[in-house]
Amino acid sequence: MVSQSCAGWLYFVRSLRDAGGLSMDTIARALTIAGSDSGGGAGIQADLKTFTALGVYGASAITALTAQNTLGVQGVFSIPADFVEEQIAAVLDDIGADAAKTGMLANNEIIRAVARALESRSFENLVVDPVMVSKSGHPLLEQEARNALKQHLLPLALVVTPNLFEAEQLAGFAVRGLEDMKAAARLIRGMGPRYVVIKGGHLPGKATDILFDGETFWALTRDRVHSRNTHGTGCTFSAAITAFLARGLSVAEAVKKAKEFVTTAIAHSLDIGRGCGPTNHMAWNNDGEATLS
């Protein structure tokens, strides 16, 4: 059996080989625009691990630096907005991206800069993970920036992936069950994204997410994996959607496979640190099965 540490990398290398070499014209490419997690479990670190595990070439534009570990966030330093925009331009104008995602954007200026950079290039395959607060309760998006996200970024999104708390913040009402999730999805889709995924992992019972395209609801349900090591699950899920979109899957199929990917990552999570440890991004092979027994 291929070890967990190299399974994703071997798939990536095989993808390059099958594509005929190291050509960026043939290998799927994805860009993450997000904050850095010094503990390695969330943010751009989780995104790039996910991209690699799924055979996608990953690039990044860093929006913020965090001093962070399994116990929580100790500090945040936001990158100047113009430099965030410069990073995005450097990647897209040379390497390009078949899909991109946003994560922690920190403030109003950065959100506007990201939206400007993507809109000016008519970028289409955008996944917005509206990160607002860490699992430890540390705020990761300033209050004034939430309106900017609604006004400037959501209209550019192909997919938006709020959890229950973020859905409440965007919709403006409490989300306590499946019918609330559907009502919130309808309202959020009215803000511009073509698809809305609301993650129901914080509800009791089985882990059920919903996907809405403006007409049809799909429920994605998996048995709950009981683990305290769930740091970075939201980042990992949205990154997996992005990677599968970059590989040419439809939104519905990308979301379904991303759900399977993150469930596997939680089931084989890593007991690292003294708090909420990370998921295991390498516990997957590209036949849709865990690489670990």
- Bigger pLDDT: 6 or 223? 223
Q: What mean pLDDT do residues 116-129 have?
A: 98
**Higher-confidence position of 14 and 98:** 98
Which of 32, 234, 256, 263 is an active site residue? 234
Predicted local distance difference test score (pLDDT) of residue 42: 96
DSSP 6-69: THHHHHHHHHHHHTTSS-TTTS-EEEEEEEEETTSSSHHHHHHHHHHHTT-EEEEEEEEEEEEE
From the list 49, 101, 199, 257, the catalytic residue is 199
Is 41 considered catalytic here?
no
In a domain, 60, yes or no: yes
Task: Report whether pLDDT(4) > 80.
Answer: no
Kindly report the average pLDDT of the chain as a whole number.
89
User: What is the H or E stretch that residue 159 is in?
Assistant: strand 159-160
Find the mean pLDDT for residues 65-71.
95
List the catalytic residue out of 66, 230, 263, 279.
230
Residue 31 sits in a domain whose CATH number is: 3.40.1190.20
Percent of the chain with pLDDT over 70: 87
In a domain, 283, yes or no: no
Q: How many CA atoms lie within 13 A of 111 on its CB side?
A: 29
- Residue 13: the pLDDT is 52
Residue 135 pLDDT = 61
Q: pLDDT, tens digit, for every residue of 12-65?
A: 555 555 544 555 568 999 999 999 999 999 999 999 999 999 999 999 999 999
Annotated catalytic residue, options 50, 70, 161, 233: 233
Task: Lay out the sheet containing 29-37: strands in order across.
Answer: 72-78, 57-69, 29-37, 99-102, 126-128, 159-160, 195-198, 207-212, 217-222
**32 assigned to active site:** no
In a domain, residue 257? The reply is yes
| 255 assigned to some structural domain | yes
Q: Which of 39, 43, 103, 232 is catalytic?
A: 232
What's the token pair of residue 265? 């990552």
Answer yes or no: is 277 within a domain. no
Phi, psi of 252 (to 5 degrees): -60, -45
234 is catalytic: yes
Q: Is the model's pLDDT at 138 over the cut of 50?
A: yes
Taking the model in full, what pTM does it have? 0.90
In a domain, 190, yes or no: no
Q: Residue 221 above 60 pLDDT? A: yes
| Residue-range definition of the domain harbouring residue 123 | 7-166+226-267
Catalytic residue chosen out of the listed positions 52, 235, 264, 276:
235
Model pLDDT, residue 292: 41
Does position 75 have pLDDT exceeding 70, yes or no? yes
- For residues 203 and 15, the model is more confident at 203
The number of distinct structural domains making up the chain is 1
Annotated active-site residue 182? The verdict is no
Q: Has residue 252 been placed in a domain? A: yes
Establish if 88 belongs to a structural domain.
yes
